Amino acid sequence: MRPLGAFVPLRHSAYSMSAKNHRVLPGFGLALGYTLVYLSLLILLPLGGMVLKASELGFGQIIDIALGERSLAAFRVTFGASLLAALINAFFGLIVAWVLVRYPFPGKRFVDALVDLPFALPTAVAGITLATLYAGNGWLGSHLEPLGIKVAYTPLGIVFALTFITLPFVVRTLQPVIEDIETEVEEAAATLGASRWQTFVKVIFPAIGPALLTGFALAFARALGEFGSVIFIAGNLPLVSEIVPLLIISKLEQYDVLGATALAVVMLAISFVLLLAINALQWWAANRHKNAEPLEVAAGKAGKEAEA
């Protein structure tokens, strides 16, 4: 994650220094070259290949496939459920992170370790477990269904699965940032007459906002690509509870490789634009608290003032 807040002005001073500054750890050129090669091999090459394959179809054909009734519904389900899951986790994940950082309680380490489980568990296992739990005859499902709430084999089930899978992203992103907020800042707000709500909105939230956005973006991105846990609980009804990754697989199973790549490219494009937008928003949130004027200039003024 990008360092937040207070450290950014230093970057200005680093820029204004001459190019020949001496770094403690040398090897910038080598490391950068390695980074570019690594990223190219790992990310650009496969994705580029996919785009190349899709280009066998014309732009119009890709759009036609993507706007087909079934794929449009799948896109709606995938992005809708992912967004909802990421939003749910942004809220409840914040509470979990807050409690884990701020309050000592017995079993805290255990609870903290629990948060990582969705990372470690095979996603299919998670999907089967959730499906069993929420099915009409499951432990929870048997109580929910009389209330008219059907979870398993509905879009709601997809949201549940995605919420489960993406929880760690929000919690783990927020924890270090919340640890960084001094309790004194809250106390200062209180002595200045701020209510608890005002303290949260005006003092706490601006401090954790950028990290919350990062966590949200990570959770959202992860949910978009999630496959294993969803297919077991979704029911996979075309037009209702079918997600794009599944649609891609079923196209592949019918040897419709071009159709599958077309969907994949559209998915990639939308995800990329969304993540780019979130990143821009985050950059803005992290940097709007900085002035353009480099630190040295301010320090120079301070020096002059001290002399006067």
Partner 1 sequence: MSIEIRNISKRFGNFVALDNINLDIPTGELVALLGPSGCGKTTLLRIIAGMESADQGEILFSGAEATHLHARERNVGFVFQHYALFRHMTVFENVAFGLRVKPRKERPSESEIKRRVMELLGLVQLDWLADRYPSQLSGGQRQRIALARALAVEPKVLLLDEPFGALDTKVRKELRRWLRRLHDDMHISSVFVTHDQEEALEVADRVVVMNHGRIEQIGSPDEVYSAPATPFVYQFLGNVNVFHSRVQGGYAEVERSETPEKATAFVRPHDIDIARQPTEGALAATVAHVHPIGPVVRVELQHGGEIVEVELSRERHEALQLAVGQGVWFRPRQMRVFGADNQPKPPSEKQAFLF
Report the interface residues with partner 1, using CB under 8 A. Answer: 5-7, 9, 182, 184-185, 187-195, 198, 202-203, 206-207, 289-291, 293, 295, 298-299, 301-302, 305
Give least dist CB 289 to partner 1, A.
5
Give least dist CB 290 to partner 1, A.
7
Work out the angle between the directed axes of helices 45-54 and 257-287 (0-180°, nearest 10): 130
Would you say 186 or 256 has its CB closer to partner 1?
186
Give least dist CB 307 to partner 1, A.
13
Distances (CA, A) of 127 to 56, 190, 223, 232, 302: 36, 45, 13, 5, 61
Would you say 140 or 203 has its CB closer to partner 1?
203
Give least dist CB 181 to partner 1, A.
9
Q: Which residues of 231-258 are buried (b: 16+ CB within 10 A; e: fewer)?
A: bbbbbbeeeebbbbbbbbebbeeeeeeb
Give least dist CB 25 to partner 1, A.
25
Tokens of 265: 């490219």
Would you say 258 or 295 has its CB closer to partner 1?
295
Residue 29 CB burial class (10 angstroms; 0-12, 13-18, ≥19):
exposed
Instruction: State how far the Cα of 281 lies from the Cα of 213, in Å rounded to an integer.
Output: 8
Amino acid at 289: H
Instruction: State how far the Cα of 243 lies from the Cα of 74, in Å rounded to an integer.
Output: 5
Give least dist CB 192 to partner 1, A.
4
Would you say 5 or 235 has its CB closer to partner 1?
5
Would you say 99 or 298 has its CB closer to partner 1?
298
Would you say 24 or 306 has its CB closer to partner 1?
306
Give the position of tokens 């360092």.
Answer: 3
